[in-house]
């Protein structure tokens, strides 16, 4: 399977489960809402001091509910190149992507621009009639690594971030997840 097809498949596999999760939450908590953005304290470690919670129950008290997929799409680790960078791809899920690279930090202006486009903190692209927001849910940046919950974003968000890392001069990029591997029946 080619890389672009794999990423689409990983995204769709996750989003199908996410849709079911949201439908169940809405049946059980009709006053709740999915994909709600929050400003968080700096010490929480989220890029831009923002994150998107999968669902908020609002039955007298606001209670965040995180979605954790029950099924995981498995694939064989692979390697290749992207531009001038070597690329190693291990197992990951759409909501748990860890990208390790050989840069001390990513260019803050370019990462901020990517974040504004893909998280849409000011809801410029928000469509109240749309089933999904098509945004990333969180980003955490550390030296030599960035962790992303791609939420309901389309695969372009993934590829644009990889391109940003390569364009910044990375020569080694490794993609994996932070969860232990999980088998799937898919």
- Give the range of the structural domain holding residue 14, as residue numbers without chain letter: 3-176
Does residue 183 sit within a domain? Answer: no
Does residue 182 sit within a domain? Answer: no
Does residue 75 sit within a domain? Answer: yes
Does residue 186 sit within a domain? Answer: no
Residue 65 has what pLDDT? 96
Does residue 121 sit within a domain? Answer: yes
Sign of the alpha-carbon dihedral angle for 44, 46, 50, 56:
negative
pLDDT for residue 83 is more than 90 = yes
Sorting pLDDT into bands at 50, 70 and 90, what band is 186? low
Sorting pLDDT into bands at 50, 70 and 90, what band is 1? low
Q: What is the 3-state secondary structure (H, E, C) of 99-114?
A: EEECCCCCCHHHHHHH
Out of 11-20, 44-53, 71-80, pick the least confident.
Answer: 71-80
Looking at the 3D structure of the chain, how many domains does it have?
1
Does residue 185 sit within a domain? Answer: no
Task: For residue range 156-182, list pLDDT tens digits in order.
Answer: 999 999 999 999 999 999 999 998 755
Burial label, 168 (beta-carbon count in 10 A; 0-12, 13-18, 19+): middle
Does residue 184 sit within a domain? Answer: no
Angle of CA points 134, 137, 142, to nearest 5°: 135
Look up the pTM and report it. 0.93
Does residue 86 sit within a domain? Answer: yes
Out of 19-23, 27-31, 58-62, pick the least confident.
Answer: 58-62
């Amino acid at each position: 399977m080619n890389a672009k097809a794999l990423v689409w498949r990983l995204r769709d596999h996750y989003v199908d489960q996410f849709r079911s999760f949201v439908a169940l939450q809405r049946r059980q908590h009709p006053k709740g809402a999915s994909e709600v953005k929050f400003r968080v304290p700096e010490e929480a470690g989220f890029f831009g001091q923002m994150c998107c919670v999968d669902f908020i129950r609002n039955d007298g008290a606001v209670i965040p509910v995180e979605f954790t997929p029950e099924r995981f799409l498995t694939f064989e680790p692979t390697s290749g190149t992207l531009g001038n960078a070597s690329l190693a791809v291990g197992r990951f899920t759409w909501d748990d992507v860890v990208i390790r690279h050989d840069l001390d930090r990513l260019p803050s202006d370019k990462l901020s621009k990517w974040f504004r486009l893909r998280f849409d903190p000011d809801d410029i692209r928000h469509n109240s009639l749309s089933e999904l927001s098509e945004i990333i849910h969180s980003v955490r940046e550390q030296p030599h690594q960035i962790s992303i919950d791609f939420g309901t974003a389309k695969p372009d968000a993934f590829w644009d971030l990889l391109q940003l890392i390569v364009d910044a001069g990375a020569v080694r990029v490794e993609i994996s997840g932070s969860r232990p591997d999980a088998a799937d029946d898919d």
